[in-house]
């Protein structure tokens, strides 16, 4: 996690979340859950597994964003009775 924080040129988990939120529709947060770090957006989350490359990190961010935005779309689609 320290390498990711340095790569993103920030100094904290909150700073990483701010960098992510600049590029995503739902705001993001990263929480420490025991020995794990969890990336959260909307009502979903994804555990970050280290070591990981910056490319893998951004792919995981994008996948989670796609899932959250897709769920928003599914929640607003009318249903036939």
Query: Residue 25: what pLDDT?
Result: 80
Q: Indicate whether 27 pLDDT > 80.
A: yes
Cis peptide before 51 (omega within 30 of 0): yes
Cα 58 from chain centroid?
9
pTM: 0.78
- Mean pLDDT, to the nearest integer, of 42-66? 92
| Domain ranges, ordered by start, for the chain | 2-76
Q: What is the pLDDT of residue 66?
A: 94
Checking if the pLDDT of 77 tops 80, the result is no
Q: How open is the CA angle 23-50-67, to the nearest 5 degrees? A: 40
Least confidently predicted of 3-12, 19-28, 42-51: 19-28
């Amino acid at each position: 996690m320290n390498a990711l924080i340095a790569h993103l040129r920030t100094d904290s988990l909150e700073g990483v979340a701010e960098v992510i939120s600049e590029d995503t529709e739902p705001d993001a947060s990263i929480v420490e859950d025991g020995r794990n770090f969890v990336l959260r957006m909307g009502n979903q989350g994804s555990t970050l597994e280290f070591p990981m490359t910056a490319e893998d990190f951004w792919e995981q961010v994008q996948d989670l964003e796609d899932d959250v935005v897709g769920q928003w779309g599914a929640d607003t689609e009318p249903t036939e009775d």
